[in-house]
Chain A
Amino acid sequence: MEEETHTDAKIRAENGTGSSPRGPGCSLRHFACEQNLLSRPDGSASFLQGDTSVLAGVYGPAEVKVSKEIFNKATLEVILRPKIGLPGVAEKSRERLIRNTCEAVVLGTLHPRTSITVVLQVVSDAGSLLACCLNAACMALVDAGVPMRALFCGVACALDSDGTLVLDPTSKQEKEARAVLTFALDSVERKLLMSSTKGLYSDTELQQCLAAAQAASQHVFRFYRESLQRRYSKS
């Protein structure tokens, strides 16, 4: 069963923005994003999707240890910290997925022998965590002024036992689903940058999920644009 969560527009004060009510058929949860909220990192962003919230900070291009430097491009590092406990294997694997996505998009060749570090802190997890981390990382990279060839966004979807597709699932929906698929899409042609899937699904279902994610990413990118326009309209 699709759980439509249409929330009314609640525009946040200061640097944050909320998303406006969307048309029928889009079942993404309420988004909110706030940029430049931390004073130490070069760029920071907090992304909220429903009840899932992730805080991201970006440092770079900064000094890199000689053992880690790459002669012709920037070394990208992603650190993901869970809400409680020490980071484990699941965090390491998510870090790698996020790093591969960022490396495809960031123009590392403009800053060789430097390091760009993305630090993500999970503030609350209520489903589609990887997608929220990707969105927060993208907004933080934009805030830091790291040169990128495109923006990217993360969209998660869950397939339950009937084959119904739910976009942006909550943790309850993820637990009961037959398969959970997360996609990272770029903003230029909505191409697929990264996919991480768990569970049992058929080939046609994969294509359906990908098509639904591409359609939903349009809303996310529109939200990015509104949020950034609001930020620059203040100055």
Chain B
Amino acid sequence: MAEPASVAAESLAGSRARAARTVLGQVVLPGEELLLPEQEDAEGPGGAVERPLSLNARACSRVRVVCGPGLRRCGDRLLVTKCGRLRHKEPGSGSGGGVYWVDSQQKRYVPVKGDHVIGIVTAKSGDIFKVDVGGSEPASLSYLSFEGATKRNRPNVGDLIYGQFVVANKDMEPEMVCIDSCGRANGMGVIGQDGLLFKVTLGLIRKLLAPDCEIIQEVGKLYPLEIVFGMNGRIWVKAKTIQQTLILANILEACEHMTSDQRKQIFSRLAES
């Protein structure tokens, strides 16, 4: 009964659930079921495991596992809903079995609470702005959620806004603010004049914002620049001249498909000229 995972990998149809641990880093497809660590012990060889019945109501020793994007809880297993690589992060401290998620490549953004995004103000209605963030509906941004908000220093229709979501779930209209919980701007607010806004895939943004990403450091060495990353796939970049801005935009868009060697070649060629 407990066959190695390779046999299950041969035929998708009728595949039984595999242990999540064995599939880490591999491509998983929608419809697959994953077993969490305690369960694979229970379904060991022989099927029916004999366990002594305990008379005291011992709390079942289940570890609390967080189900990230691309996974859904299905009974006591995890059901994969998106295609991508399965990842796991150990819990930093204390209890819990860590987080499992699927790293998928997507273009369309779905608002998530706490995400910092770049939005475009599309309309004013009542005392809120309607901001287009690339999701299925425009987010609302109150007039008062800016640092030092007064009647005079309000954004206009067509401005770029960098803010974060305070309400973002599937049932309600997303709401964003440009202040943090202390009431300070902390880098958020209206993005200045000029510069270029362009769209990339969500996976590229996550890659660029990873702590050990060398691309941004290399780009910073090329030209002095200002750059804002929105988790909704939008990047705003501004350099001294228009030509430099366009070069930077092209590099960032192409980063997705280049290997690190090709990138280094391009950077060295640009640094010379």
Contacts and interface: CB of A to CB of B under 8 A. Distances in A.
Contact of B106 (A107, A112, A145, A225): A145
Interface stretch (A57-65, A161-169, A195-203): A57-65
Q: How large is the interface on B (under 10, 10 to 19, 20 to 34, 35 or more residues)?
A: 20 to 34
B186 interface: no
B13 A148 contact: no
A147 B30 contact: yes
A107 B136 contact: no
A228 B29 contact: yes
Contacts of B79: 149
Contact of A111 (B83, B106, B110): B110
Nearest to B106: A145
A225 B13 contact: no
Interface in B61-109: 70, 72, 79, 81-85, 104-108
B246 to A, nearest CB: 18
A53 interface: no
Contact of A221 (B13, B83, B135): B13
B31 A147 contact: no
B13 A217 contact: yes
Contacts of B12: 151, 187, 218, 221-222, 224-225
B107 A144 contact: yes
A235 B105 CA distance: 10
Contacts of A229: 27
A153 B203 CA distance: 27
A150 B110 CA distance: 21
B152 interface: no
Interface string B2-41: 0000000011111000000000000101110000000000
Interface string A191-235: 000000000000000000000001001100110110011001101
A232 B85 contact: yes
Nearest to A185: B13
A228 B83 contact: yes
Given A111-B136, A142-B29, 7 more contacts: A36-B105, A63-B136, A64-B136, A189-B14, A190-B13, A232-B105, A233-B27
12 contacts: A43-B107, A60-B108, A61-B108, A62-B136, A111-B170, A142-B83, A144-B106, A145-B82, A145-B105, A145-B107, A147-B72, A186-B31
